[in-house]
Structure 1
Amino acid sequence: MNKIFFLTAALFLSSHINAQKITGFIIEEKKDKNEVEILFNNKLLTAYCYYDSSRKPVLFPVNTVDGITVTRSYPFKNVPGERTDHPHHTGIWFNYESVNGLDFWNNSTAIEVAKRDHYGTIVHQKIINKKINDKTASLTAAANWIRPDSKVLLNELTTFNFSVSKNDFVIDRITTLTATDTTVIFKDVKDGMLAIRVARELELPSKEKSSYVDDKGNITNVPPSGADVTGMYYGSTGLKGDSVWSSKGNWVMLTGKKDGKEITIGITDHQLNVGYPTYWHARGYGLFAANPLGRKVFSNGKEELNFSLQPGKSVTFRYRIIIHSGNFLTTEEMNKWFTDFGKVK
């Protein structure tokens, strides 16, 4: 009897301890996979990934609190019916199209070897800090923006602050870039800077074929969408749909349905960012980006900003991403998220 009693008690205690361990946030570093997983109640919310193939650190995948993946899986995974364009659109990322003449935005393994000297790479260096609480977690990582000859142009220090509140998974990204011993010029261009590529269901519906041509002459053909494609952009200034592209504003949200749930992805700017309020590079095929440094193409030539950093000088960019499942977020709720984020310095 005593043996049975103690065995039962031990099993109960072990089960109770394990249950306690999976409550709230967990950060699991998996160096063999070049990943740091962010879990909540033992479910994966996202992972900080620094794969060689991505040419930059990314958050991938990105899931709602109830487990619905909102990011496109390609090129890391092949999902039937998903687009296979723009292999450099991976999860949530942060980079820029023209840094001292090098293209960090379009870099991927799809670039021909003979052309790779025109592209820059962001290389993860190390995890600086990890903190967890019940409803919050933070991860700080260091990376280098490097030229093809391995010279470092910028040192990057990024802190991700993660939080969960009911059906909201919130990511605050605070990134500081510091020029090394060379003046760094961010030329005024279209593609940048904080971006997410969303799942097929969250794209904007389109009955027409479309083609997109980047500045390298690469053409992306986009076929008509089906009934399962349900996305819609809303801007803080009242604009909607394709009109959000090239607009300025405090925030933009993308709503749509996936796996039977209403989902909202919101991104907010911050008053302390360079170029505030940012221009929005929001495409119907699922690219959703805030570009604070590109002005000329979005303003039809009325504005231009060629931002530069002198050696040793730093600049900080702050963004909040809200991943919400349930009833679509409202304008009032997004305004509240923006105002609350403004308190973060």
Structure 2
Amino acid sequence: MKTATYLMSALIVSAAFVGCGPLQSGQSKSSQPQDGQVDRFSFVEHPERNSIDILLDGQPYTAYCYADSLKKPVLFPLRTKGGNFITRGWPVQPRANERTDHPHHIGLWFNYGDVNGLDFWNNSTSIPTEKRMGYGSIHHAAVNRTESNGNSGVLDVTKYWLGPQGDSLLKEDTRYVFHVEADSSTSIELDIKLTALKDVSFKDNKEGVLGIRLARELEHPSDQPAKFTDANGIVTEVTQANNDGVTGHYVSSEGAEGDDVWGTRGKWVSLNGTIKGEDVSLVILDHSGNPGYPTYWHARGYGLFAANPLGQKELSGGKDVLNFKLDNGASTRFRYKVLIHAGNKLDAAAINDRFREFSGQ
């Protein structure tokens, strides 16, 4: 009975997200202008699915998904250039041996756990009706432009952060820049402008702000009980996790490793692992101009990889306090770069070079 209940819950959650993510390969081809330059990235809009496919050399790379059921727009899934998934599939596209916790952890997203007392981070379709007044959601408003230029592609969008009764707290203008690096790794830069539409308070909270939910292979090995899917999508509770192929290991710019990265500050964190024989380094670079720089890291061994510069009191054990605020009409800017490097593992010197280039230091 317990297994059947878990299965029904998983099916209900999964059904809400049908259509998120590129459907298949070969949907488009890279264009080649008369000057001979090949545009590597292309964008295919699917208004009926509330998504935009981002293709690299005509193959699925990621998708910008903005269905209301997601409670915020996300990039899902993320892949290496070779096509291996680095993000968890559940609850959108479940795969075998995946954890089924935190249904709000989907792909790559940006939001926060306490904005004028509303929780934007934990919102999902699983929140009981009687509790939904405590949650906010982020709604896609417009695609301002898409652009392809050689090794880069740009998606520029506008979103609104809404309270449970539809009132607007923030306008978000985000520019996603997708890029093929010189070493054939790929990157995603996020340039996020938040404009307050009323006085807004971001009370220190551990849930934020830039998050990625990882594929099982990039988690840290664990012997703790948990719930996992099998090859048929059935959810089962196990007393000890199967760690076959689980290879993740965090390393921060300040030398912290593994679970010790959580609650520390740093300019960047790298997550190293192996997926189907392919060595992978997934790196989040902070930017020196961001509020709360250098960020605290909300990096968990079970598969949450997040940078949180606003939750300082919670992540420092009370040592630091920020309680960031924006007055009505004021704006702030967050910039991050996500490196997806495959084929070998990036060392600290190489990542520091990327950080200096990105952050202007």
Task: Judge same fold: TM > 0.5, yes or no.
Answer: yes
Q: In structure 2, do the counterparts of structure 1 residues 308 and 120 end up closer, same or farther at CA, with 3 Å as the change threshold? A: same
**Matched AA of 2:107:** G
Aligned to 1:313: 330
Aligned to 1:3: none
C-alpha displacement of 1:298: 1.6
Matched, 1:329 2:346: yes
Aligned to 2:88: 72
Mapped contact 2:110–2:209 kept (Cα < 8 A): yes
Aligned to 2:156: 140
Matched, 1:110 2:126: yes
Mapped contact 1:65–1:168 kept (Cα < 8 A): yes
Out of 277, 288, 292, the residue aligned to residue 294 of structure 2 is 277
Aligned to 2:261: 244
1-side partners of 2:239 and 2:203: how far apart? Answer: 28
Out of 287, 290, 295, the residue aligned to residue 312 of structure 2 is 295
Matched, 1:88 2:104: yes
Aligned to 1:217: none
2-side partners of 1:240 and 1:306: how far apart? Answer: 28
Deviation per residue, 1:116-159 (Å, 9 max, x gap)? 11000000001001110120011100000000110000000000
Aligned to 1:50: 66
C-alpha displacement of 1:275: 0.3
Runs of 4+ in 1 over 6 A off after TM superposition: none
C-alpha displacement of 1:227: 2.4
1-side partners of 2:195 and 2:255: how far apart? Answer: 36
C-alpha displacement of 1:331: 0.5
C-alpha displacement of 1:210: 7.3
Aligned to 1:59: 75
**Matched AA of 2:95:** V
Cα RMSD (Å): 1.9
C-alpha displacement of 1:19: 7.2
C-alpha displacement of 1:209: 3.7
Helix, strand or coil at the partner of 2:315: coil
2-side partners of 1:209 and 1:125: how far apart? Answer: 41
Matches within 5 A, 1:34-45: 34-45=50-61
Mapped contact 1:87–1:108 kept (Cα < 8 A): yes
Q: In structure 2, do the counterparts of structure 1 residues 132 and 95 end up closer, same or farther at CA, with 3 Å as the change threshold? A: same
2-side partners of 1:312 and 1:188: how far apart? Answer: 21
Deviation per residue, 1:79-110 (Å, 9 max, x gap)? 12111110000000000000000000000000
2-side partners of 1:240 and 1:69: how far apart? Answer: 23
**Matched AA of 2:310:** L
Aligned to 1:156: 172
2-side partners of 1:222 and 1:332: how far apart? Answer: 40
C-alpha displacement of 1:343: 3.1
Helix, strand or coil at the partner of 1:61: coil
C-alpha displacement of 1:259: 1.4
Aligned to 2:16: none
Aligned to 1:10: none
Matched, 1:195 2:216: no
Q: In structure 2, do the counterparts of structure 1 residues 273 and 79 end up closer, same or farther at CA, with 3 Å as the change threshold? A: same
2-side partners of 1:306 and 1:57: how far apart? Answer: 25
1-side partners of 2:143 and 2:238: how far apart? Answer: 39
Matched, 1:24 2:40: yes
1-side partners of 2:30 and 2:177: how far apart? Answer: 24
Helix, strand or coil at the partner of 1:234: strand
C-alpha displacement of 1:252: 0.1
Structure 2 stretches of 5 or more lacking a match? 1-28, 33-37, 228-236
**Matched AA of 1:44:** P
Structure 1 stretches of 5 or more lacking a match? 1-17, 212-219
TM-score (norm 1): 0.89
Helix, strand or coil at the partner of 2:178: strand
Aligned to 2:192: 175
TM-score (norm 2): 0.85
| Sequence identity (%) | 46
**Matched AA of 1:288:** F
Deviation per residue, 1:15-68 (Å, 9 max, x gap)? xxx675586111111111111111111111111110121100000011111111
Highest CA radius of gyration, 1 or 2?
A: 1
Aligned to 2:21: none
Aligned to 1:33: 49
Q: In structure 2, do the counterparts of structure 1 residues 303 and 221 end up closer, same or farther at CA, with 3 Å as the change threshold? A: farther
Mapped contact 1:23–1:40 kept (Cα < 8 A): no
**Matched AA of 1:115:** K
Mapped contact 2:30–2:41 kept (Cα < 8 A): no
Matches within 5 A, 1:203-214: 203-209=219-225
2-side partners of 1:295 and 1:19: how far apart? Answer: 44
Mapped contact 1:188–1:295 kept (Cα < 8 A): yes
